[in-house]
Amino acid sequence: MDEERIAGAMAGLPAWQRSDDGTRISRSFAFKGFARAVETANLAAWLGNRRNHHPDIAFGWGYCTVSFTSHDAGGLTQRDFDCAARLDALMDGE
């Protein structure tokens, strides 16, 4: 994706951050315990399997961080942004 399209896609995902090297987008979720962090990690894994686009996930007590990148493309693609938007919608209960 070119920088203009990436900027437009990022504008629609205000909770997501782009990595310093520009090859991935990530969102961190904060919780008051461990169970919700695990549930969010499982939800992101389920979404990745459904979309055949698997995120990197880190979680522990009180947090879950999900990152999308397209390894085969060497950076960001529309699939990354689509998966991020879908995860946002699932977390918001849509």
Q: What percent of the chain lies above the pLDDT cut of 90?
A: 90
pLDDT of residue 1: 87
Question: Domain of 62?
Answer: 3-91
CATH number at residue 46: 3.30.1360.20
Per the structure, how many domains does the chain have?
1
Here the tokens at position 27 are 């969102």
Q: Average pLDDT over the chain, rounded to whole?
A: 95
Quick: pLDDT tens for 9-22.
999 999 999 999 99
pTM for the structure as a whole:
0.93
Crossing angle of helices 78-91 and 35-51, rounded to 10° = 140
**The length of the chain, given as a count of residues:** 94
The answer, yes or no, to whether residue 94 has pLDDT greater than 80, is no
pLDDT band of 42, cuts 50, 70, 90:
very high
